[in-house]
Structures are given as structure tokens and as C-alpha cells.
């Protein structure tokens, strides 16, 4: 294949269409949300694992992106996943509320 990055750009959605569903089932978290970057990372990780079984790697194709393994392995551990699922909006609101209750000395 002369332009694997072109194939990746055009086909990554087809290669990753069930990743969200599989992760929701694996983590028993039906409301799981993954960003496009996280889904791409999973797909790249799966491609890398297939290539390694054949003695190759995505690194053999310099134009191809390489997965951030830490993201993929993170979501495979349910305990770590659960701890990192903070409601960032709620935490930001709580921060703002607590910040308003500080006196001048505490703000310094």
C-alpha cells in the first residue's frame, strides 16, 4: 500500500464503528462517551496489535499516526476508568461556588 495514511483518513470511521459499543459493554458503563480522538486511538491500537501478530508495526509506516497506548490501556481497567469519570461541569460549578465563599486572606 503506497499511501496508508490516505486509507486511514478515509476509512477510520468504518474501522472503529463498534468501538464505543464494545467499550460500553466491557466497562459496564452504558452512558460512556468517547471523543473522536479516543475512538481513533482505539482503532489504531487494534491495528497495531494485528500488525504485531504479523511481525510488523504502524511504526513501519512513518506517515501513519501511532496510538497513544496509555489512553487505550487506561480504559481497559474499570477501576481507573471509574475514578477518572469526573463530572467536570459540576466540579467547575462547585469550584466557583467555593471560591466566592473565601475571604480575602484565604484568597491570597
pLDDT in tens, 60-97: 999 999 998 665 565 566 666 666 667 778 889 999 99
- Interatomic CA distance for residues 104 and 108, integer angstroms: 7
Q: What is the pLDDT of residue 107?
A: 84
Separation between Cα atoms, residue 1 and residue 17, nearest integer Å: 23
Main-chain phi, psi angles of 32, to 5 degrees: -55, 135
Average pLDDT, rounded, for the chain = 86
Domain that holds residue 40: 4-107
Quote the Cα angle for 17-6-72, to 5°. 45
Among the residue ranges 12-21, 27-36, 80-89, the one predicted with the least confidence is: 80-89
The predicted model scores a pTM of: 0.63
Contact 101, 45 (CB under 8 A): no
Strands (E), 6-94: none
> How many structural domains are present in the chain?
1
Question: What is the pLDDT, as a whole number, of residue 61?
Answer: 93
Amino acid at each position: 500500500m503506497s499511501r496508508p495514511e490516505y486509507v486511514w483518513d478515509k476509512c477510520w470511521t468504518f474501522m472503529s464503528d463498534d468501538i464505543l459499543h464494545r467499550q460500553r459493554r466491557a466497562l459496564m458503563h452504558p452512558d460512556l462517551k468517547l471523543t473522536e480522538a479516543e475512538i481513533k486511538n482505539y482503532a489504531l491500537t487494534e491495528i497495531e496489535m494485528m500488525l504485531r501478530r504479523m511481525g510488523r508495526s504502524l511504526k513501519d509506516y512513518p506517515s501513519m499516526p501511532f496510538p497513544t497506548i496509555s489512553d487505550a490501556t487506561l480504559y481497559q481497567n474499570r477501576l481507573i476508568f471509574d475514578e477518572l469519570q469526573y463530572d467536570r461541569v459540576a466540579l467547575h460549578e462547585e469550584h466557583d461556588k467555593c471560591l466566592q465563599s473565601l475571604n480575602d486572606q484565604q484568597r491570597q
